[in-house]
Amino acid sequence: MARLLTLILIAANVLYFAWAHWIDGRRAELTAVPVTAPKPKPPKPPPPPPCATLGPFDDEALAEQAQRALEGGGWGVLRRVISEQVNDGYWVHIDNLTSPVQQVRTVTAIRRAGIADAFAMPDDPQFRVSVGIFSEEARAEDRAARVQRLKLDAIVTERLKDHSIYWLDVPGVAPQTLSDGRLVTLGVVTPGLRIEVCP
């Protein structure tokens, strides 16, 4: 019996020893959590360098002359070409015809009415008849009214053509710099020209 009691006491001591080291030794410990500082905001990008542009030049020779004058003043110049559509007059025509025969009859009727510059559009799948091209819209409308009195459906269409416009970009130069009278001293003729910020 004493032997059994000794074994129980030894077992109790082992269990207490185990509890003391494994269970009680695992008390919560405070650990320091590193505090991260907020990331600084990235710096603002620098503003774009200034750039002035001079134009529009309708004539390439005038643009080239101004470019040489600016380069002679010590500036680097880039020529920029923009193509835009501009008015090239007004066309009076009839386009609701259905056959070559009707096209010929229409031209004949218009010429009999005293409008000599009417003609059939050759190889036109719409069998159109041209009744004149005018530089002024009012004259084109007057011609269309004369043709409409013949019970024909005359139409006025604006004609457009591609036209090149030239601009001179001066990188690194503010528009105010070109506006201070230097262009005149360089021999650049400025009436009709604008000085703007480069696009």
What are the respective helix, strand and coil percentages of the chain, to the nearest 5? Answer: 35, 25, 35
Are residues 101 and 188 located together in one domain of the fold? no
Task: Report the CATH number at residue 115.
Answer: 3.30.70.1070
Dump pLDDT digits (tens) for 63-89: 999 999 999 888 899 999 999 898 999
Does the residue 23 lie in any domain?
A: no
Contacts of 91 (CB under 8 A, 6+ apart): 130, 132, 133, 140, 156, 157, 158, 159
- For residue 106, being part of any structural domain is answered with yes
pLDDT at residue 162 is higher than 60: yes
Domain shared by 188 and 101, yes or no: no
Residues 176 and 142 in one domain: no
115: burial class by Cβ within 10 Å (0-12, 13-18, 19+)?
A: middle
85 and 116 Cβ atoms separated by less than 8 Å:
no
Residue 31 CB contacts under 8 Å (≥ 6 apart), including other chains: none
At which residue do the structure tokens 């710099």 appear? 177
pLDDT digits (tens, 9 = 90+) for 103-145: 999 999 999 999 998 999 988 999 999 999 999 999 999 999 9
Domain that holds residue 65: 51-86+163-197
